[in-house]
Amino acid sequence: MPTDAVARLRLIRTDSIGPITYRQLMARFGDAETALRALPDLARRGGRGLVVASADAAEAELAALDAIGAVMIFIGTPAYPALLAGRESAPPVLSARGDVSLMERPAVAIVGARNASAAGVRFARALANDLAAEDLVVVSGLARGIDAAAHVGAMAGGTIAVVASGVDVVYPPENAALMAEIAEKGLLLAEQMPGTEPQARHFPRRNRIIAGLAAGTVVVEGAPKSGLLITARVAAEAGREVMAVPGSPLDPRAQGCNLLIREGATLVQSAADVVEALSAFGQGIGGGSQLGLRYKAAESAVWYDAAVADAGDAERAVVAALLSPTPVAIDEVVRLSGLAAAVVATVLLDLELGGGLVRHAGGRVAVG
């Protein structure tokens, strides 16, 4: 853990500071302590005051994790998984309980319906077991149904459960024993602070971590509008392999998978299909080509854009005039403003800290 862990955690837990803002602040100021000192002035530029998370609260959170044998893994440190760090939306910190070395190995995600069929559960468990035998770590979300089956099937070979709650909160209740077993034999990960109960908005954020950790995502049963398709979409946007298990057109739980296959996802019937699909992704997967892909971050890994620039009142006025309640791509703001991308990024950062900007998926921003 870095020596400035308390300062980093204070920065992360301060309102209005999300993953992108955290990266930009660290790039702009070089370290968390300096960024914390600059926050009040930056927020005033954006038009409001800002309550910075206290050192006592950060220290209490670290102590709560230590009490249950968990640790914090900060982005930009060697223990943070490199594949996830490469995503713009990667959480600045993860709570980890269990075997953190699992994040250094190639991984595949298996996700699916909570109300899974008996056949779907059996297939997911067997697939996970076979993938673990291929030395792949299986990642899922510890939900009932397909997720739970995947964790059970991969337990002997290594499994990572990403939860939407705090790493110490059991959800769903019926998976209490499974969660305890994963903490002992595998790895539990959470973005939320200890003691946090899961809320609806936490699940999409959990899904992006699942997709970001893995070289590919396999979907086993799911409705067309279910959250698991969000995971598949995030995986595709990240350039990861999207795979799906086909099912009967008469079963509503198969419609999402069949739709993914129709849209170009790889059809999966066995672990061999998964290994073949991932073989070109990087080193260590089924004897595939050596593309130099790193699953473990290096000490000097660049996890933020180091390009920073100052912005004056004139530049702020130009950028602010281009924003509205309708989300617009940041690249479009750069193009229309005629300003350097680094200058636009600085203005957007000031506006966000001041509560005047909301970031949306796909690199879009709108007036808050």
CB 168 within 8 A of CB 197: no
Instruction: Enter the tokens of residue 295.
Output: 């699953």
CATH number, domain 5-67+306-367: 1.10.10.10
Buried b (16+ CB within 10 A) or exposed e, 79-90: bbbbbbbbbebb
Angle between helices 5-13 and 19-29 (to 10 degrees): 130
**Domain ranges for the chain:** 5-67+306-367, 96-278
Q: Which of 180, 182, 193, 189 is nearest to 162 (CA)?
A: 189
**Distance between CA atoms of residues 294 and 91, nearest Å:** 19
Specify the pTM: 0.86
| Whole-Å CA distances, 66 to 10, 26, 167, 347 | 17, 26, 12, 38
Digitized pLDDT (tens) for each residue of the chain, 368 residues in all:
788 999 999 999 998 788 888 988 988 888 999 999 988 887 776 666 678 899 999 999 999 999 999 999 999 898 999 889 888 889 999 999 999 999 999 999 999 999 999 999 999 999 999 999 999 999 999 999 999 999 999 999 999 999 999 999 999 999 999 999 999 999 999 999 999 999 999 998 999 999 999 999 999 998 887 777 778 888 888 888 999 999 998 888 899 999 999 999 999 999 999 999 988 665 445 443 333 344 444 443 444 455 556 778 888 889 989 999 999 999 999 999 999 888 888 888 888 887 788 888 778 889 87
**Distance between CA atoms of residues 115 and 93, nearest Å:** 31
Q: Do domains 5-67+306-367 and 96-278 have the same CATH topology?
A: no
Q: Which of 139, 123, 263, 295 is nearest to 210 (CA)?
A: 139
CB 192 within 8 A of CB 166: yes
Its CATH class, for the domain covering 96-278, is alpha beta
